Structure 1
Amino acid sequence: MQEVRTTNDVEGWHTHLANHAGLSISSKGLNLYILLEVLYEEAIQVDIYTKMLEQGQQLRRQRKTFKELNLKLFGLWNDYSKQKITTAELLEQCADIYTKFNAIKYAKTANDARLFELETE
């Protein structure tokens, strides 16, 4: 019952860290003193994030598209957990959701005229 995760969060954090360090990375690497300062500030942020999570606040924004995708998947998982659908049905319906999602994503990037048909199905 967890969302599909990618390395995007880690890559985003790494980019943030590099930007926060002022991209002070030479051919020899990042200056140790700058790295220590940036990591210290990051540690303070962790405390703030922990308090926010304890208060039920959300730290991560999720695009509407992915929120809708996850809602559909969690709905299917609930149906499966309550034995309303079989394993085969769960897998088939998940495949349909991802196939349609990827088709729409591709159609948007390719300016495909079938986009309207895909979104209204």
Structure 2
Amino acid sequence: MGFGEVNKLHTGSRGGDNYETVNEESPVTKSSMCHLSLNLRDDATNERFKFVLKLLALPFLPPEHFQETFERLDDRASEALAPVMDYVYRTWIRSPVFEIHHWSVFMTAIRTNNDVEGWHNKLNTGVATGAVPFYHLVSVLYVEASDISLGMKMVSEGKMQRYQRKKTRQMEGRVFSLWQQYCERTINASQLLQGCASIYGPPVH
């Protein structure tokens, strides 16, 4: 069954206890999501593409505003995007594993695992490449663990700071500016999503 054959699940059926899922014969799989993404990327000016960018920016909202904003987006979603909306609703909005506040990044400066990846790369470089003897690895990890208390103290005293590239700092400044405007109610949720999508998403004309 293609996207056009899937009935759109309107907010009314999602919001209450009478929620119905997409036909089980046509589950939203990773391949179908990728297929839809490729179709959208063929034309960057496609309205569906702009819509999906706003949908992907939902984590930038406060957790308590997710449900209402998602419902408004769902009301505007086209039939072709019904599987995507259903996937987001079942996997994230009503997830039995992750609560909304777990994946909301509202007013959060560190939103990636880049720091962990940086530490991991540094560790790999220090240990060497290829197979590492177990006892050598243990000794290296022991040295790393011994520095944790000192590192925490330096961070708390402001003697150690996180390095950010100029471009990253500028992007952070734009995001926090949008958050400030949202808190001051000078922009609405739709404008916040659109602003964040324009910062992190590919250019759309």
TM-score of the aligned structures, taking structure 2 as reference length:
0.43
Specify which of 153, 167, 181 is matched with residue 65 of structure 1. Answer: 167
Q: Return the letter of the residue paired with 1:11.
A: E
| 1:1-121 → structure 2 map (5 Å cutoff) | 1-3=107-109, 5-23=111-129, 25-26=130-131, 30-99=132-201, 102=202
SS in 1 for 2:147: helix
Cα distance in 2 between the residues matched to 1:10 and 1:75: 27
Q: Deviations over 1:81-104 (max 9, x none)?
A: 1212110111122222334xx55x
Q: How far apart are the structure 2 equivalents of 1:78 and 1:3?
A: 13
Q: How many residue pairs get matched? A: 97
Between structure 1 and structure 2, the one with the greater Rg is: 2
Q: Which runs of 5+ in 2 are unaligned?
A: 1-106
Rounded Cα–Cα distance in structure 2 between residues aligned with 1:72 and 1:65: 11
Q: Distance in 1 between matches of 2:157 and 2:116?
A: 24
- CA RMSD across the alignment: 1.9
The one-character-per-residue Cα deviations of 1:45-103 (angstroms, maximum 9, x if unpaired) are: 2122101111023432000000010011001101101212110111122222334xx55
- The answer to whether the 8 A contact 1:49-1:59 is kept is no
Task: Give the distance between the partners of 1:71 and 1:7, measured in 2 at CA.
Answer: 19
Q: Distance in 2 between matches of 1:64 and 1:80?
A: 25
Unpaired segments ≥5 residues, structure 1: 104-121
Provide the TM-score with structure 1 as the length reference.
0.69
